[in-house]
Copies of this chain bind each other. A is one copy, B any other.
Amino acid sequence: MAFFDYFKRAPKSASLAKDRLSIIVARERAGTRSGPDYLPALQQELLAVIARYETIDLANVTVNLDKSGGCEVLELNIVLPDSPPPPPPRLSQTVSV
Residues of A within 8 A of B (CB): 1-4, 6-8, 12, 16-36, 38, 41-42, 45-46, 49-50, 52-54, 66, 68-69, 71, 73, 75, 82-85, 87-88
Contact = CB atoms under 8 A, between A and B. Distances in A.
B4 A68 contact: yes
A12 B32 CA distance: 13
Contact of A49 (B28, B33, B49): B49
A17 B30 contact: yes
Contacts of A24: 3, 22-26
B1 A66 contact: yes
Contacts of A31: 17
A28 B20 contact: yes
